[in-house]
Amino acid sequence: MIKLKYSYKTKISFSENVYGHSFLLRCTPQTNEFQEVIQSSCIILPQVEFTKGNDNFGNVTLNGHIADLHQSFEFISEGTVILKTYRIRESLNNMFLYPSKYTMPTSNIKALFRGVLLPENATALQKVLLLSDAIHSSFVYEPGITTIQTSASEALTIGKGVCQDFAHILITLCRMAKIPVRYVTGFMQGEGFTHAWIEYYAYGEWFGFDPTHNRAIINEGYIKLAHGRDYEDCTVDKGVFKGLAQQNLEVYLKVEEIQQ
């Protein structure tokens, strides 16, 4: 087992004062078979009361409302997690077999899928690996090209993108292959921003797979925050406010191993 300490900070600065700011955060991990949360805390600035709960997928949520004028919004999520083997036993919800907003199987993705030979007797992991290999043959990692609104089809057309795009494309291909799969967001050791990967379902369990790094074994260095059908279900920070203001985003993430 591995013990990790994480510190995640996000600050949004507004060019003008805003008010009536409602927010929903998914910045806190929860205990499951893969990870045990030893300690966690979240500070929100401006200081305001917030409610801790769970969304429809079971992800931890923090909800609040800032009525007064403010020119910045900041939250700091910190804690310690013990990692175990990445296997999560759950009953399957069939929604993870069907396309979602960002994972529609359009013509270019269908063409990519047709070019992959998937043996009938291959395991789910073997099929996921073959599909991931196909992505890496025609898609490269490059930040600043796509946005959080970019779909799998749009990213594949561009041919460049980030972890969110790798995850969306692989999810689309896996669902075409009748493999249940879901989008995951969380922290990865060595990266300064949140990371996205997938979980595929086999033998009554969810297993982690990182398509960005084409990595099937991700027991070390990953902390799961949330899962859903695609990115829209897993946003770390979602909010609305009143006022006309430009936003500037600053993000800091540090994940380090603690010797036991």
Q: What is the pLDDT of residues 45-89, one digit of tens each?
A: 999 999 999 999 999 999 999 999 999 999 999 999 999 999 999
Whether residue 133 is found in the same domain as residue 19: no
Identify the H or E element spanning 133: helix 124-136
- pTM, two decimal places: 0.96
Q: What is the pLDDT of residues 24-38, one digit of tens each?
A: 999 999 999 999 999
The whole-number pLDDT of residue 28 equals: 97
Q: Rounding to the nearest 10 degrees, give the CA dihedral for residues 77, 81, 83, 88.
A: -70
Query: What confidence category does residue 260 fall into, taking pLDDT thresholds of 50, 70 and 90?
Result: low
Whether residue 221 is found in the same domain as residue 246: no
Please report, for the chain, how many H helices and E strands are present, in that order. 4, 14
Percent of the chain, pLDDT > 90?
96
The whole-number pLDDT of residue 215 equals: 85
* Dist CA 121 CA 36 (whole Å): 35
Whether residue 51 is found in the same domain as residue 100: no
CATH number at residue 252: 2.60.40.2250
* Tokens at 14, concatenated: 């507004």
Whether residue 146 is found in the same domain as residue 223: yes
- Nearest CA to 160 among 182, 135, 184? 135
Query: What confidence category does residue 259 fall into, taking pLDDT thresholds of 50, 70 and 90?
Result: confident
Cβ contact 209:132 at 8 Å: yes
Whether residue 202 is found in the same domain as residue 170: yes
How many independent structural domains does the chain possess? 2
Whether residue 97 is found in the same domain as residue 221: yes
Whether residue 219 is found in the same domain as residue 229: yes
Whether residue 160 is found in the same domain as residue 93: yes
Average confidence (pLDDT) over 88-106: 97
Whether residue 228 is found in the same domain as residue 248: no
CATH number at residue 96: 3.10.620.30
Cβ contact 46:68 at 8 Å: yes
- Nearest CA to 170 among 149, 139, 146? 139
* Dist CA 225 CA 194 (whole Å): 9
Q: What is the pLDDT of residues 208-222, one digit of tens each?
A: 999 999 988 787 899
Q: Which domain holds residue 254?
A: 2-84+236-258
The whole-number pLDDT of residue 19 equals: 97
Query: What confidence category does residue 116 fall into, taking pLDDT thresholds of 50, 70 and 90?
Result: very high
Whether residue 178 is found in the same domain as residue 111: yes
Whether residue 92 is found in the same domain as residue 29: no
Whether residue 131 is found in the same domain as residue 191: yes
